[in-house]
Chain A
Amino acid sequence: AQTVTQSQPEMSVQEAETVTLSCTYDTSESDYYLFWYKQPPSRQMILVIRQEAYKQQNATENRFSVNFQKAAKSFSLKISDSQLGDAAMYFCAYRSPKAAGNKLTFGGGTRVLVKP
């Protein structure tokens, strides 16, 4: 079974600075999908960025980018120019194309605090 590990329970960053969240996963599959979801205090889970494993190019969405290292099974998220609205819980997630019901395997989450 796949597992996803987020080793940082909490990260703090100064406004306008950069923070990197780590995520590692364990799988024997070669084809899969990886996601970063953000859950602010409003509770709604919002997709931040996604990566298909067959794509070598790292995904980027505005201030959010990933460093996807397939051989190392690592999928870190970099938040550049941090803003107060980035304060949230961030979950890394894995999905196998074979997963019944589009089931996501989530990491334990990393809380990001943004200091003004």
Chain B
Amino acid sequence: DTEVTQTPKHLVMGMTNKKSLKCEQHMGHRAMYWYKQKAKKPPELMFVYSYEKLSINESVPSRFSPECPNSSLLNLHLHALQPEDSALYLCASSLKLASGTGELFFGEGSRLTVL
């Protein structure tokens, strides 16, 4: 199993809603990532988890709240988002931090639209 699975694939939410994005992998990877990608732009790193602990927060607004309940699962909780937060949110995993090339395996992303 070399898959990173993200749900939902599409999400539309209002600015007062609370929703969550989910990411799951069963490759035994111990590093997991959230990226944000705007149209026609490269992905931008948001958060990195290593062994279920938050390792990197790239100065992301607090309306985005990550959670890593176990080594296979990564969530991104969304609250009071703005229309400019509309984007593709990509989850990725790697074997662990600072290991060899650090190849990332990406999911298909969750397309978020904030109205």
Q: B residues within 8 A CB of A109? A: 40-42
Residues 9-50 of B, flagged 1 when their CB comes within 8 A of A and 0 if not, give 000000000000000000000010100000011110100101
How far apart sit A53 and B37, CA to CA, in the bound complex (Å)? 27
Q: A residues within 8 A CB of B98? A: 97, 102
How far apart sit A42 and B56, CA to CA, in the bound complex (Å)? 28
- Indicate whether A19 reaches chain B with its CB closer than 8 angstroms: no
- Indicate whether B86 reaches chain A with its CB closer than 8 angstroms: no
How far apart sit A43 and B37, CA to CA, in the bound complex (Å)? 10
Q: How large is the interface on B (under 10, 10 to 19, 20 to 34, 35 or more residues)?
A: 20 to 34
Q: B residues within 8 A CB of A104? A: 45, 104
| CB-CB contacts below 8 Å: A76-116 with B | 91, 95, 97, 100-104, 106-109
Q: How large is the interface on A (under 10, 10 to 19, 20 to 34, 35 or more residues)?
A: 20 to 34
Q: B residues within 8 A CB of A107? A: 42
Q: A residues within 8 A CB of B76? A: none
Q: B residues within 8 A CB of A46? A: 106
- Indicate whether B94 reaches chain A with its CB closer than 8 angstroms: yes
- Indicate whether B85 reaches chain A with its CB closer than 8 angstroms: no
| Chain A residue with the shortest CB-CB distance to B106 | A45
Q: How far is the CB of A91 from chain B (nearest CB, A)?
A: 5
- Indicate whether B90 reaches chain A with its CB closer than 8 angstroms: yes
Q: How far is the CB of A93 from chain B (nearest CB, A)?
A: 8
Say whether A33 contacts B101, CB under 8 Å: yes
Q: How far is the CB of B39 from chain A (nearest CB, A)?
A: 11
| CB-CB contacts below 8 Å: B76-115 with A | 88, 90, 92, 94, 97-98, 101-109, 111
Interface residues of B (CB under 8 A from A): 31, 33, 40-43, 45, 48, 50, 55-56, 88, 90, 92, 94, 97-98, 101-109, 111
Interface residues of A (CB under 8 A from B): 33, 35, 42-47, 50, 52, 91, 95, 97, 100-104, 106-109
Q: List 15 A-B contacts (CB under 8 A).
A: A35-B103, A44-B108, A45-B43, A45-B90, A45-B92, A45-B106, A47-B104, A100-B48, A101-B55, A102-B48, A102-B97, A102-B102, A103-B45, A106-B43, A109-B42
